[in-house]
Amino acid sequence: MSMILLAVQDTYGTVLAQVGNPTPEAPPGSEKILQLVRYLTWFVLLSGICGITYAGGKFAWERWTGGGLESPKMVAGAMIGGVVATSAGTIMNAVIG
């Protein structure tokens, strides 16, 4: 186990404390929270698929009727949101270390 030296020193330059680097441990009952996170992840992915499908259908309708093209923005937004949602765990692991 590596040690973290605190930058607290007395007037003689001796280190006053050392703190161990603890490893993360899940608290009791965390399995239910993790299950809820998995359900929410599934719902976000389902919402993204529905959003892209809806935007694709709207894009086809706009092209057929000759209306304004609003749906490419919807497709791009849904795809960017899906990338952020699915990589949230990886991003947090990179930030936390």
User: Which tokens go with 50?
Assistant: 């529905």
Determine the angle formed by the axes of helices 71-86 and 30-65, rounding to 10 degrees: 160
Q: What is the pLDDT of residues 29-68, one digit of tens each?
A: 889 988 998 898 888 888 888 888 888 888 888 888 887 7
Q: Which helix (H) or strand (E) holds 5?
A: strand 3-5
Q: Among 17-26, 34-43, 78-87, which is the least confidently predicted range?
A: 17-26
